[in-house]
A = this chain, B = another copy of it.
Amino acid sequence: MTLQEMGLQAKHAALPLQKIDSKTKSAGLLAIADALRSHASRILEANQKDVEAFVQKNGKSAMVDRLTLTKERIEEMARGVEKVESLPDPIGEVTGMIKRPNGLVIGTKRVPLGVIGIIYEARPNVTVDAAALCLKTANACILRGGSEAILSNSVLVDVMTEALDAVGFPKGCLQLVRDTSRETARELMRLSPYLDVLIPRGSKGLIRSVVENATVPVIETGAGNCHVYVERTADFSMATDIFVNAKTSRPSVCNACESLLVDEAIAKELLPIIAEAVKPYQVEIRGCEKTCAILPEAVMASEEDYYTEYNDFIVSVKVVADIEEAIDHINEHGSRHSEAIITRDYAMANRFLEEIDAAAVYVNASTRFTDGNEFGYGAEIGISTQKLHARGPMGLTALTSTKHIIYGNGQIR
């Protein structure tokens, strides 16, 4: 099937899908969870072939773990689908209704986006995750995973489609692009007549390519060059705990800290404490001149370092004169994802909250909390780093749009 045909089929599935009631949507999601469990061996078999092919081609790398499924991971995926099923259905809610002087009654109703394209990389669990979130919000979806996981993804989509068919979901509401050439990715990005939105999930390179090439509206996700700024009045032990957590608890994720800023007034005292605290994690410290003068283990940071998302046990450190320099530095170098200040000063806290331009701005907490579950959304399709439509962790409502419904009795203008 060509992408055009897939797009047309998805578009035709969108309206019947929207008309399915919440109860049937739940039945479909629960059927998916059951099917994942009962077809676990079929899924594992396909996944093993993907993993073998990957290792043969690339050798062993961190990617292998991301690609590999196990019985436990399939159980996790099934539970994830059940969790999405249990969330309230956002579709159909009328979020406001006004009456105009001419008698027109205008309501704003939450509706699906329509057809969502999702482009992602190695992890096969995204296939299930994205499908569940799209179906819960009555969106048809076209998934395009990476070539490394194509056999796993194909079986996952087959298993899910069989489950949905049995419950009476419209044909074409969930589709996988099985040709994983670069050309199909490109074509999907420009499938404007059929796709309402495109969401890339994955590496910086992938996201940049989507932004560069897409004609379909994109929700940009991902890059996180997050800072922890320790202001001079900070509690040292709190600052240390938060930095260690933000840097080391899971350095590969986007809400991990990449850069530490410390007020000059406390740098001499605080930096050695922090350096000691991260020693067990063998964190490489790349600092400014002042940092290097204080910490013998630090190496000189380049300007480039301050723009870098390491996703690793490396941190850039800069000693700043005051909050003004800290805010300027963050707004210049950050990726507008998550930024934290550690302080005991009321005015400093407020100034930081006000002036930092980012999806999530923290006072006295770890940047690691920027996450749909931690924010209470119950699920997450990604973390938006753009300012349109959705910003920060995206839950179910980020997959919806609105329409105006207008009740008249003959009004003309």
Name A residues whose Cβ lies closer than 8 Å to a Cβ of B: 14-15, 18-19, 98, 100, 104, 106, 111, 113-114, 192, 196-197, 211-212, 215, 217-220, 235, 238, 241-242, 245-246, 249, 331, 353-355, 357-366, 368-370, 374-376, 386-389, 391-392, 401-413
Contacts of A249 in B (CB 8 A): 412-413
Contacts of A364 in B (CB 8 A): 407-411
A411 touching B331 in the complex, CB below 8 Å, given contacts A217-B217, A217-B386, A376-B98: no
Number of copies: 2
Describe A's contact surface by its main secondary structure: mixed
B376 touches A410 (CB 8 A): no
Contacts of A406 in B (CB 8 A): 360-363, 365, 369
Docked pose: A401 CA to B106 CA in angstroms: 23
Docked pose: A362 CA to B19 CA in angstroms: 19
Contacts of A388 in B (CB 8 A): 113, 196-197, 217, 219, 388-389, 401
Docked pose: A401 CA to B391 CA in angstroms: 8
B407 touches A369 (CB 8 A): no
A376 touches B241 (CB 8 A): no
User: Nearest Cβ in chain B — how far from A190, in angstroms?
Assistant: 9
Question: What are 13 sample pairs from A and B whose C-beta atoms fall under 8 A apart?
Answer: A18-B355, A104-B365, A113-B388, A211-B215, A241-B412, A242-B412, A353-B405, A358-B403, A360-B404, A362-B406, A365-B408, A387-B401, A392-B403
User: Nearest Cβ in chain B — how far from A193, in angstroms?
Assistant: 11
A100 touches B411 (CB 8 A): no
B391 touches A403 (CB 8 A): yes
User: Nearest Cβ in chain B — how far from A397, in angstroms?
Assistant: 12
Docked pose: A214 CA to B204 CA in angstroms: 19
Docked pose: A375 CA to B411 CA in angstroms: 13
User: Nearest Cβ in chain B — how far from A158, in angstroms?
Assistant: 29
User: Nearest Cβ in chain B — how far from A287, in angstroms?
Assistant: 23
| Residue in B220, B360, B389 whose CB lies within 8 Å of A403 | B360
B361 touches A375 (CB 8 A): no
A405 touches B361 (CB 8 A): yes
User: Shortest 5 CB-CB distances between A and B: which pairs?
Assistant: A365-B408, A245-B412, A387-B401, A389-B389, A368-B413
A363 touches B408 (CB 8 A): yes
A412 touches B113 (CB 8 A): no
Contacts of A104 in B (CB 8 A): 365, 369, 374
